[in-house]
Amino acid sequence: MFSSPIKHWKKYCTLLFLVILLIIWYGIFGFHKKNPGYFYNTQNNAVWLEHRFSEDFTEDSEIEKLARELHSHAIRYVFLHAGPFESDGTISAQKYQAASRFLKIARQTEPDIIWLAWIGQLRSLVNIDDPSIRFNMVKTAEILTRTIGFDGIHVNIEPIPHGNASFLLLLKEMRNSLGDSSFLSVTSDEWQSQWMSEILSFLLRRQIESYWGTSYFTQVGSIVDQIVVMTYDSRLTKPWLYSWWVEQQTIYSTKALKGTRAKILIGIPVYKKASASFFPEAENITTGLIGITRGLNNIRATLSAFDGVALYPYWTLEEQDWKEYDRLWGKAKNGYSGNL
pLDDT tens digits for range 226-237: 999 999 999 999
Taking residue 41's Cβ as centre, other Cβ atoms within 10 Å add up to 22
HSE-up (13 A, CA, CB side) for residue 305: 28
Q: How far is CA 219 from the centre of its chain?
A: 16
For 225, residues 6+ apart whose C-beta sits below 8 A from its C-beta are 152, 183, 184, 185, 261, 262, 263
Is 333's pLDDT higher than 50?
no
Query: What pLDDT sits at residue 293?
Result: 98
Cα–Cα distance for residue pair 307/309, rounded to 1 Å: 7
The pLDDT tens digits for 174-219 are 999 999 999 999 999 999 876 666 676 567 666 666 789 999 999 9
| Each residue's pLDDT tens digit, 279-300 | 999 999 999 999 999 999 999 9
**CB of 217 closer than 8 Å to CB of 181:** no
Residue 207 has what pLDDT?
66
What number of other Cβ atoms are within 10 A of residue 317's Cβ? 18
Could you give the CA distance from residue 33 to residue 137 in angstroms, rounded to a whole number?
44
Q: Are 131 and 170 in contact (CB under 8 A)?
A: no
Q: What is the CATH number of domain 34-328?
A: 3.20.20.80
Q: What does 168-181 look like in DSSP terms, one character per residue?
A: HHHHHHHHHHH-TT
- What is the reported pLDDT for 4? 61
140 has a pLDDT exceeding 60:
yes
More confident residue, 151 or 17: 151
Would you state the pLDDT for residue 211?
86
**Residue 137: CB atoms within 10 Å:** 26
Cβ contact 112:71 at 8 Å: yes
- Tell me what the mean pLDDT of segment 20-28 comes to: 49
* DSSP letters spanning 226-249: EEEEE--------HHHHHHHHHHH
pLDDT of residue 78: 99
Q: What is the mean pLDDT of residues 14-37?
A: 64
Output 42 or 28, whichever has higher pLDDT: 42
CA gap 23, 170 in Å, rounded: 40
Q: What is the pLDDT of residue 286?
A: 98
Average pLDDT on 47-74 reads: 98
pLDDT of residue 27: 52
Q: pLDDT digits over 81-102, tens only?
A: 999 999 999 999 999 999 999 9
Residue 14 DSSP SS3 = helix
DSSP state letters, 124-163: GGS-TTSHHHHHHHHHHHHIIIIIS--SEEEEEEE---TT
- 310 close to 47: Cβ distance less than 8 angstroms: yes
Q: Which residues contact 86 (CB under 8 A, 6 or more apart)?
A: 92, 126
pLDDT band per the 50, 70, 90 thresholds, residue 18: very low
Is the per-residue pLDDT at 165 higher than 80?
yes
Buried b (16+ CB within 10 A) or exposed e, 271-294: beeeeeebbeebbbbbbbbbbbbb
Q: Report how many helices (DSSP H) and strands (DSSP E) the chain contains, helices first.
A: 11, 8
Alpha carbon distance 68, 9 (integer Å) = 68
| 69-80 average pLDDT score | 98
C-alpha neighbours within 13 Å on the C-beta side of residue 172? 9
What ranges do the domains of the chain cover? 1-30, 34-328
- Assess whether pLDDT exceeds 60 at residue 19: no
pLDDT of residue 193: 78
More confident residue, 4 or 140: 140
